[in-house]
Amino acid sequence: MPRTVEDMLAEANTAVPPITPAEARALLADPGTLVGDVRDAPEVAASGKVRGAVNISRGMIEFRADPASPCRDERLSPEKTVIVYGASGGRSTLVGKTLQELGYQDVSDLGAFKGWVESGGEVE
């Protein structure tokens, strides 16, 4: 039987722990932490992003995060603490699960960018 997106989201939500904006702010002080914005570039251009976040759209995450990929983004590393977020939380949850499958051990889901903004989080 084929899987549905709801099945995939349920599995990812079980595997990738959520993180609150306050918890994320505490981790951002550590240079070993990377925040990943998984929205598409036009979304980021329209609203900004978490200060210091790296924008890598969900469609490119496997190519940018895999250490063996020739398209790898050097800022991503399985040794780092990674916090991901998106517009509503669905894409970030799926990206978090993908990162885990690529060997990233410490991945958390901040969920929706809106929650970060509403909590007073810094935006650039």
Looking at residue 1, what is its pLDDT?
Answer: 80
pLDDT recorded at residue 4 = 94
The answer as to whether 96 is a domain residue is yes
Closest CA to 39 of 23, 60, 24: 60
Range of the domain at 55: 5-118
* 109 in a structural domain: yes
Q: Which amino acid is at 86?
A: G
- 123 part of a folded domain: no
pLDDT of residue 111: 95
pLDDT at 124 (0 to 100): 96
- The answer as to whether 100 is a domain residue is yes
For the chain, the straight-line distance linking the first and the last C-alpha, in angstroms and rounded, comes to 44
Q: How many domains is the chain partitioned into structurally?
A: 1
**Separation in Å, CA 58 to CA 10, 27, 39, 69, 71:** 18, 23, 7, 16, 14
This prediction's pTM: 0.93
Q: Could you tell me if residue 124 is inside a domain?
A: no
Contact status, residue 121 vs residue 95, Cβ threshold 8 Å: no
β-bridge partners, 55: 37
Residue 27 lies in a domain: yes
Give the C-alpha separation, 109 to 86, whole Å: 9
Question: What averages of pLDDT result for each successive group of 10 residues across the chain (124 residues)?
Answer: 90 94 94 96 97 96 96 95 96 97 97 96 96
CATH code (residue 54): 3.40.250.10
CA distance 67 to 111: 25
